[in-house]
Amino acid sequence: MEIKAWNLVLFSCLLLSLLASPSSAQTCVSQTFPDNKQYVNCTDLRALSSYLHWTYHQSNGTVEMAFRHTGTTSSRWSAWGINPSGPSMVGTQALVAFVNSSGVTQAFTTSIDSLFPTLQPTDLSFQVPSLSATFENDEMTIFGVLRIPENMLSTSQVWQEGPVSNDQLQPHTTDGANLQSRGSINFLTGQSAGASSDSRTRRRNVHGVLNTVSWGILMPLGAITARYMKVFKSADPAWFYLHVACQSSAYVVGVAGWATGIKLGSDSPGITHNPHRTIGIILFCFGTLQVFALLLRPNKNHKYRLYWNIYHHSIGYSVIILSIVNIFEGFDILNPEDKWERIYIGILIFLGAMATLLEAFTWYVVIRRKRTNKHPLAMNGANGHGQG
């Protein structure tokens, strides 16, 4: 039975490799533009359903580019820019586009000089000989020609989107995908690190997979094992060892996931996800209390066993509920492909259906056993003797 627990650990490693590995097929390759316009290079950006296409013309030192933001609406603005000082908002030389109240798509340049920019048209530190934008089929595309100096050909890139109200561009949100919309770009070599292949994104994926498998799968599985297997006398003490194996594996893997979260937090000053962080700390504390509870577990006939059971079950079910809540909080922060969230929802449905069936079967066994114990001699007649 312990093999099943280790199979789930192996499954987590497989899932981790799938999440951590960049996809070889890029969507941008199949995208087309009006008048059959083509670009030499393109990359799928890692957040906000965005894509960058460009061609560097070394003869005149210009970059011809197109930034495409899909799945947006006419009531939201889109922006892309480069920042020679690093992958941050302040210092970004940006191209911005939005649809005004007259239904006309406008594009302008703006230099971001504070954490709360007004997004008003300003000149950039380099020339932009051509700039335009189109909005159709829920896609905003910004076209531009940039005359970039050689020392900015390899630089950081940032892209964003936010709401528009009465032709006024409102601030974007500061969580989820809006915090992931940054990377690097080399216009000369065609290399880009704005996709999910950078090390920080891999660490985020590691953190997500470890915690999903440990707190979100192994923990509920261990609880199901303890609740339903111990009803059968033949499963004693196998159910206990399997329960300990599941919960111990979950705790060890979960602590590793928690540690990666702490590291991610220390590497991202100024960025906090308070609900996710708070629940994570509570889970770590509750999980540690459960480990100590195992060491202090009294015998079945001990006078304090009832109180220990109440404590153990209360903390255990609290961990499961909080784990599921925090995993979905993590999905909102990581913003992975929808299939990963659907896979986890499918696992929860499977575990819930299995628990429901086992609950019904367990009650059937318990009720039947009570009836048998209440009338142990019923098969030999009312008084325990045959009727001749």
Burial call 56-89: b when 16+ CB within 10 Å, e when fewer: beeeeebbbbbbbbbebeeebbbbbbbbbeebeb
Query: Would you call 82 helix, strand, or coil by DSSP?
Result: strand
| 227 vs 12: CA distance, rounded Å | 24
| 125 vs 122: CA distance, rounded Å | 10
The CA-to-CA distance between both ends of the chain, in Å, stands at 49
Alpha carbon of residue 349 to chain centroid: 19
Query: Would you call 193 helix, strand, or coil by DSSP?
Result: coil
Hey, what are 387's tokens?
A: 């009727």
Is 207 labelled as part of a ligand binding site? yes
Cα separation values, 236 from 24, 110, 248, 294, Å: 50, 70, 19, 17
The set of residues, in sequence order, having a beta carbon less than 8 Å from that of 61 and lying 6+ positions away, is 147, 148, 149, 150
| 182 vs 160: CA distance, rounded Å | 9
| 68 vs 50: CA distance, rounded Å | 6
| 132 vs 74: CA distance, rounded Å | 16
**CB 184, CB 192: distance < 8 Å:** yes
Looking at residue 213, its amino acid is V
Is 243 labelled as part of a ligand binding site? yes
Hey, what are 145's tokens?
A: 């020609």
Length of the chain measured in residues: 388
Is 385 labelled as part of a ligand binding site? no
Hey, what are 255's tokens?
A: 């602590």
Strand partners, 161: 78
Is 273 labelled as part of a ligand binding site? no
Q: Which residues are annotated as a binding site?
A: 207, 243, 276, 312
Q: Which residues are annotated as a binding site for heme b?
A: 207, 243, 276, 312
